[in-house]
Amino acid sequence: MGGPYFAGVDVGSATAKAVLVDAAGKLCVHVVVPSGGNLTLAADKVLAAALAQADAVTGDIAALIATGYGRESVAGRTRSVTEITCHAKGAHALYPDARSVIDIGGQDSKAISLDPTGMIRKFEMNDKCAAGTGRFLEVMARTLEVPLDEVGPRALTADRPAKISSTCTVFAESEVISLLAQGETVERILAGLCLAISQRVNSLATRTGMAPRVIMTGGVAKNTGVVRAIEKAIGFPLTVPEEPQIMGALGAALLARADAAK
């Protein structure tokens, strides 16, 4: 038991994340669970798991900020904050010299430019289409019958990327099937998909005026093939946190702590 804790809950389309920080802002607990079809249930489940891990109860939470696609489904929230703000806060807290954030989640991708204090200067977001997101990769991996965690490593073994001309998930899937029928290797196709994502992200990054240090957050940051392709596209190395999926929840928890201090 303990506390007070300050909680951040980030409910995305693919996963729900919860972070607890203490009064000093130290990260105490983080949990990631699949979102499933019921976002309210996912939010309840991930927060309960975080509390259990901290040997704490709901009453130990002094403030809770919700973020992400399903933020309005988080019960007991003090307030809701956009994931843009939370990812910027989380990235800057871990890396004070961060000037840019690339976040690729299950359903959207974002490029965020920060000033030296961590405040958002500009951002661009692709939220109209699943292209260049985690969902895009999931669909393609399933089509190619490749486990999702093998997509990046296998893409990096390709001698060249296959040409994927469409960034639409539906059309790209048809294109992948055609490439397989033409005898193209799975590795080249995977490399081509990583390249397609990097080109889409680069267009967002260019509009925000991306500058180093660049932090990559979100589940797709675990895909080494996409990370390497984005590095080539933007011309800067990417820093991937040890747990890239929890950056939004961490930022939310730190904002909850700041709220409580007011």
Could you tell me which of 69, 24, 22 has the C-alpha nearest to residue 50? 22
- φ, ψ of residue 8 in degrees (nearest 5): -125, 125
Residues 6+ apart with CB under 8 A from 227: 152, 216, 221, 238, 240
How many Å apart are CA 4 and CA 28, to the nearest integer?
A: 11
CB of 27 closer than 8 Å to CB of 14: no
Q: How confident is the model at residue 165, as a pLDDT?
A: 82
How many Å apart are CA 41 and CA 162, to the nearest integer?
A: 41
Please report where in the chains the tokens 């001698």 appear, as a residue: 159
How many Å apart are CA 60 and CA 44, to the nearest integer?
A: 16
Q: Residue 175 to residues 50, 62, 158, 171: CA-CA distances in angstroms?
A: 42, 51, 18, 6
Helix (H, G, I), strand (E, B) or coil at 78: coil
pLDDT tens, per residue, the chain with 262 residues: 567 999 999 999 899 999 999 999 999 999 999 999 899 999 999 999 999 999 999 999 999 999 999 999 999 999 999 999 999 999 999 999 999 999 998 888 999 999 999 999 999 998 666 677 888 899 999 999 999 999 999 999 999 999 998 767 788 899 999 999 999 999 999 999 999 999 989 999 999 999 999 999 999 999 999 999 999 999 999 999 999 999 999 999 999 999 988 8
Q: How confident is the model at residue 107, as a pLDDT?
A: 84
Q: How confident is the model at residue 46, as a pLDDT?
A: 98
CB of 58 closer than 8 Å to CB of 76: yes
Residue 90 tokens read as: 């989380």
Q: How confident is the model at residue 187, as a pLDDT?
A: 98
Q: How confident is the model at residue 106, as a pLDDT?
A: 86
How many Å apart are CA 123 and CA 229, to the nearest integer?
A: 21
Determine the number of helices (DSSP H) and then strands (DSSP E) in the chain.
8, 10
Could you tell me which of 4, 64, 63 has the C-alpha nearest to residue 28? 4
